[in-house]
Chain A
Amino acid sequence: MTVVSVDRDLDELTLVLVAEFEAPVERVWQLWSDPRQLERWWGPPSHPSTVEEHELAPGGSVTYFMTGPGGETSRGWWRVTAVDAPTSLEFTDGFADASGEPDPALPTTEARVRLAERDGVTRMELRFRFDSAKRMKQLEEWGAFEVFPQSVAQMDEVLATAQDTTQEAG
């Protein structure tokens, strides 16, 4: 299992997800630091993402858009607050309007990424904190969550295929 644990705290409105990858920490960091790799996992297969700006430095921005099955696009952004490559990244994740400007009326989530390698296995801890319950509700109304359950099912197939490939290759 890639995902080791998921803990949620309704007091703090946080979700903490821990995953482990059989790869060096520098390699896992590239998933975040290389925009071409980031866009391959950020959006679900039904909504591929395209990363435009990508500056992983304090105060820097990452901007992206996701394209739906009907060609419709939705834009989002990160505001990077802290970086310590290849082990730590903190950013605020939010929605943007059609021109790509952050929309202050829409929900944001604070995200914290921590990477640590041990014996060739990299442990990734993701901590998310919502700015308010009200904004969680807005996320839900926007349908931001609805696109995902389907992609989780697809992901299982992809993972199964990837595992077979690895075994064949090994």
Chain B
Amino acid sequence: MVVGDEEIDRLFHALADTTRRDILHRCIDGEPSVSRLADGYPMSFAAVQKHVATLERAGLVTKQRRGRETLVRTDAAAVERARRVLDELEEAWRGRVGRMADLLAEMPESRAT
């Protein structure tokens, strides 16, 4: 499945914030309510709610109403997609660095042309 560019933009915008990444961590195992999340940060309930909304638009978390509370859960697959892009660049350069080392071993005395 091809993910649209707009979706990817939202995804990275959502990830480019320390608080939002912290919220993602907290919502992987448990399923805290927005108000419980808000207790953990030196910011207003509204500010935390806004962060959660950004994460939700990016597809990184899902919200579920339970009684008077809204529970937040991280979508691990979406976080993984973002990480994979950097993983692959890292692998590409590990490959290049390996080939550089190989070349140095093979041609230790090479001179610049």
Total of A-B residue pairs, C-beta within 8 Å: 131
List residues of chain B with CB within 8 A of the CB of A98. Answer: none
Q: How many B residues touch A, CB cutoff 8 Å?
A: 41
List residues of chain A with CB within 8 A of the CB of B92. Answer: 144-145, 148
State the Cβ distance, A83 to closest chain B Cβ, in Å: 14
Best-buried of B9, B12, B15 by chain A (most CB within 10 Å):
B12
Decide: A2 and B97 in contact? CB cutoff 8 A.
Answer: yes
Decide: B102 and A133 in contact? CB cutoff 8 A.
Answer: no
A to B CB contacts below 8 Å, 24 in the list: A2-B97, A10-B15, A10-B21, A13-B16, A15-B89, A17-B90, A19-B101, A23-B104, A29-B112, A30-B110, A30-B111, A30-B112, A31-B100, A37-B103, A41-B96, A133-B11, A134-B8, A140-B88, A148-B92, A152-B91, A152-B95, A158-B98, A159-B102, A166-B105
What interface size band does chain A fall in?
35 or more
List residues of chain B with CB within 8 A of the CB of A40. Answer: 99, 103
List residues of chain A with CB within 8 A of the CB of B93. Answer: 15, 17, 126, 128
List residues of chain A with CB within 8 A of the CB of B91. Answer: 145, 148-149, 152
Decide: B108 and A23 in contact? CB cutoff 8 A.
Answer: yes
